[in-house]
């Protein structure tokens, strides 16, 4: 289970999450910078994968396919945006 109010302290953007999707390997910084939070534009690089979850803000993105502690990812600056 993850917080559904994650916020990035680097770009000050809400972290979006998409169940049953992963990001295409061709994703890069400019793709997210130019297309967040437009789901219709993001779909161009989303791949359907049952049980996975795709996360992204404007400066970082991750595809998670198994239980993972995101706090160990030092380059991510995602924190709870408070409920």
pLDDT digits (tens, 9 = 90+) for 21-64: 999 999 999 999 999 999 999 999 999 999 999 999 999 999 98
- Residue 32 CA to residue 69 CA, distance in Å, equals 23
Band (pLDDT 50/70/90 cuts) for residue 70 is: low
Q: What is the mean pLDDT of the chain?
A: 89
How much is the pTM?
0.85
Q: Are 60 and 78 in contact (CB under 8 A)?
A: yes
């Amino acid at each position: 289970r993850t917080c559904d109010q994650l916020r990035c302290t680097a770009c000050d953007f809400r972290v979006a999450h998409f169940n049953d999707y992963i990001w295409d390997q061709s994703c890069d910084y400019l793709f997210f910078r130019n297309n967040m939070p437009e789901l219709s534009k993001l779909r161009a690089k989303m791949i359907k994968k049952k049980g996975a979850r795709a996360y992204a803000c404007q400066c970082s993105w991750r595809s998670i396919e198994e239980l993972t502690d995101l706090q160990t990812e030092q380059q991510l600056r995602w924190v709870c945006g408070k409920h």
